[in-house]
Amino acid sequence: MKHSAKKDSALETRRFSFVGKHNKGLSILLILLVGLLGILAACSPQTNAGETPAASDTPSSGAVVPTVVSVPDPSETARAYLNAWNDRDYEAMYNMLTTLSRDAISLEAFTQRYQEVEINTVLVGVDNEILQTLTNPTNAEVGYKVWLRSSVIPDLEVNTQMNLSLENGGWRVVWDETIIMPELAGGNRLSLETIWPTRGIIYDHNGSTLSADATAVAISVVPSAIEDDQYGSLYSALQQVTGINAAYWDYKISQEDNPFILSLTEIPYGQFLEYEDILSPHYNALAAEVYENTRLSYINEAGAHSVGWVGPIPAEEVNAWAEEGYPAGAKIGRVGVEAWGEEMLAGRPSADLYVVTPENLLLTRLATTETTPSESIYTTLDRDMQRWAQLSLQGFTGAVVVLERDTGKVLAIASSPTYDPNYADANNPNSLWNTYFPDNVGRFFNRATQGQYPPGSIFKPITMAAALESGEFTPTDRLNCGYYWYGPDGQEFTDWTLAKDRAASGDLSLVEGLMRSCNIWFYEIGYRLYTSGQTDAVAEMARGFGLGSPTGIDIFPEESGQITNPDEQGENQPWFYAIQQGIGQSDTLITPIQAAVYTAALGNGGTLYRPQMIDRVENTAGEATFEFTPVVNGTLPVSEETLAAIKEGMLAVTRNQRGTAYFTFVNRIVDVYGKTGTAQNPGVDAHAWFIGYTDEQREDLPDLAIAVVVENEGDGSEFGAPIFRRLMEVYFNGRPLSAFPWEDRIGEIDPTYFMTPEELEEYLAQQEAQQQNNNGN
């Protein structure tokens, strides 16, 4: 036993010697650990045999207690970062980076990197999903998936991960390009290639082109270079090329204040080639310059407030259109049909998204999509009517609206002053676009839908309707239409015949009162309805005719006008406003398109149709994706008997020798049911109105309703009615048949017509001096 013990002792010695021989540090560590355990045992509370140690929440003095540190959830930081990406809050994202990451890339460079991705994916949003999280005491990895939602390409699904580092108790993002997508590692970038389809064509209802992408020719002239024997042939040539009569070109080119080079028109290149033989003899004075890739208005100024124009995206809208895939510098429809139909006319581009190396080599294609072809729009417009509506307003400020009476289709809509949509292209050699600004004359203001005017006597059919529907009046009631009507306080109100130095109209029925536009009759109606307790009868009838509310035409901005009850109008006695409202004055305001809509309703049996300008939309296969359907806004709140009485009075306006528009329509080609209006406008001359409709009931030419207003020119019979007549002639005869009173020839304005006696005397003296000078030479 003794020998055995010595042997075991020797073995243990060898073991320790082996340890000490190979790792003295480890031996020392083991000895220290044994000693430490002894000390701890000595310091432990002592218990007697069989006793259970007492529990204690407080460690004894000198005990070592581990500290537990709470680490934030890194996935919350990752999610906040990705949500900020969706919000395009690049500064907030940048502030989530680690200090080292921010040192490595500036905020500007960081933002630019993300914006490059945003632009090249046409990014509209970023959705995210956290997939997994690996957390260590001071760093973490978050795997996630993002969907880059695009308006041009299919949504991109990206799987990647984000590294995070713990700084000051919070997680910070260790940034590199793979956080966006793994393919961007090493400085790779995205490149989007798009090809847009050719913009769709806009037609009139007959299929005549109104606006299309084209190679065009700008035609201009140097008036001083035209030789004496060339004028007639030049004007004839321009008439053949443009379809606008020679007298118009004579008037335009012969103005004394013309510039040295006068812009005339723009036409398609193919049309120029067709007529070049008749233009070329005048190249001593004419210039014809070709320019490409333009949006060409085939009716020039006549298309401004109907078809509209195409131009660069406004600076304040660039970001919104970029989200639709429109690149910087793209052009869009700005007003009219061009703007309303932008999505259909533009189509959608084909698109390919590539990953490109720093050496500009294509690495891979991430996404692709096919083009959506553009569509073409057939409007309800009639090209000839539209052109002549605009030309009829030449030299005036005003508006014209022509409707198909029984459907609400807009055949023409014109506003003056106007502009040439072709000038919006800076490459057009004729362009005078910059001269339009500032727009002091309201070229871009659509008076047909936005102009709000006192209606004057074209409101009288509404007052007559209120009278007949009230039960207080009948069509055969009679009243002496003298020069004066006296209010209850003795205040004097006059008829228009007094100011015109005409004989008073005398004894008239109510129907005849409408024919003569007798103010006395309509003062009486306004007063009697108000004092009989039907205080708002006229105002309510006006609302029933659609006034005070938009018509609903959705191609253009539109104003509502204004209809106010007499008791709500001001500080005077309410009856005062009632009688003024009866003749279409007071604070009553309407738009020309409202006037055309209720005029159509008077003629079609009482239906208020919504005015519409789109006949159909066709895809490239010729299939209709939209077709016109009449939309009824309401029905006039009147009986058939009331409509018949108003119709009788409106026909008498143009057919009866005492009618206010008789002399304009004495040689009419069709019957016209009309009403003149001379709307007083404080401080300036009156506005000239004429409304009317036809009732021919022809299958080939649907009946029309037209409203004309000419600002500050005086009588509706003198200015509004002749414009109405010309449009009737163009529609039913194919061309104008008679000159305006203010024209020397159709299309050529007589400069003396609008002169005061003093101006006329000076003008004639200048003409005589010029003639003597010419004879002397």
The pLDDT value recorded for residue 41 is 42
Average pLDDT over residues 112-127: 94
pLDDT grade for 191, boundaries at 50, 70 and 90: very high
pLDDT grade for 327, boundaries at 50, 70 and 90: confident
pLDDT grade for 174, boundaries at 50, 70 and 90: very high
Residue 667 has pLDDT above 90, yes or no: no
Q: Is 381 helix (H, G, I), strand (E, B) or coil?
A: coil
Calpha distance 672→726 (Å, rounded)? 12
Calpha distance 646→628 (Å, rounded)? 30
The pLDDT value recorded for residue 166 is 96
pLDDT grade for 65, boundaries at 50, 70 and 90: low
Residue 519 has pLDDT above 70, yes or no: yes
Residue 27 has pLDDT above 60, yes or no: no
Average pLDDT over residues 678-689: 91
pLDDT grade for 68, boundaries at 50, 70 and 90: low
The pLDDT value recorded for residue 461 is 98
Assess contact for 341 and 377: CB atoms under 8 A.
yes
Q: Is 656 helix (H, G, I), strand (E, B) or coil?
A: coil
Residue 70 corresponds to which tokens in the numbers above?
């709470």
The pLDDT value recorded for residue 375 is 98
Q: What percent of the chain has a predicted confidence (pLDDT) above 70?
A: 91
Residue 161 has pLDDT above 60, yes or no: yes
Average pLDDT over residues 633-646: 98
Residue 45 has pLDDT above 50, yes or no: no
Q: Name the residue among 586, 601, 587 with its Cα closest to residue 551.
A: 601
CA triple 521-522-527, angle to 5 deg: 105
Average pLDDT over residues 315-332: 89
491 vs 62, which has greater pLDDT?
491
The pLDDT value recorded for residue 105 is 97
Residue 129 neighbours by CB distance under 10 Å:
12
Phi, psi at residue 16, to the nearest 5°?
-70, -35
- The set of long-range contacts for 474-479, using a CB threshold of 8 Å and a minimum separation of 24, is 474/510, 475/509, 475/510, 475/511, 475/641, 475/645, 475/648, 476/509, 476/510, 476/511, 477/509, 477/510, 478/507, 478/508, 478/509, 478/510, 479/507, 479/508, 479/510, 479/513, 479/518, 479/520, 479/521, 479/524
Residue 126 corresponds to which tokens in the numbers above?
């970023």
Average pLDDT, the chain: 90
Residue 771 has pLDDT above 60, yes or no: yes
pLDDT grade for 67, boundaries at 50, 70 and 90: low
Helix H or strand E segment including 159: strand 156-167
Residue 9 has pLDDT above 90, yes or no: no
The pLDDT value recorded for residue 523 is 98
pLDDT grade for 527, boundaries at 50, 70 and 90: very high
Residue 331 neighbours by CB distance under 10 Å:
17
What digits encode the pLDDT tens for the residues 345-400?
Answer: 999 999 999 999 999 999 999 999 999 999 999 999 999 999 999 999 999 999 99
Residue 341 has pLDDT above 70, yes or no: yes
The pLDDT value recorded for residue 64 is 60
Q: Name the residue among 22, 323, 304 with its Cα closest to residue 152.
A: 323
Helix H or strand E segment including 398: strand 398-404
Assess contact for 510 and 467: CB atoms under 8 A.
yes
The pLDDT value recorded for residue 66 is 62
Phi, psi at residue 257, to the nearest 5°?
-95, 20
The whole-model pTM stands at: 0.85
112 CB-side CA count, 13 A:
6
The pLDDT value recorded for residue 359 is 95
Residue 353 gets the label, from left (phi > 0), alpha (psi -120 to 50) or beta, of beta
Assess contact for 234 and 391: CB atoms under 8 A.
no
Q: Name the residue among 380, 447, 438, 379 with its Cα closest to residue 417.
A: 447
pLDDT grade for 669, boundaries at 50, 70 and 90: confident
Task: Tally the residues of the chain.
Answer: 777
Q: Is 218 helix (H, G, I), strand (E, B) or coil?
A: strand
Average pLDDT over residues 444-466: 98
pLDDT grade for 227, boundaries at 50, 70 and 90: very high
Q: Is the peptide bond before 438 cis (omega within 30 degrees of 0)?
A: yes
Average pLDDT over residues 293-299: 96
Residue 239 neighbours by CB distance under 10 Å:
17
Residue 504 has pLDDT above 90, yes or no: yes
Assess contact for 725 and 664: CB atoms under 8 A.
yes
The pLDDT value recorded for residue 62 is 55
Residue 12 has pLDDT above 80, yes or no: no
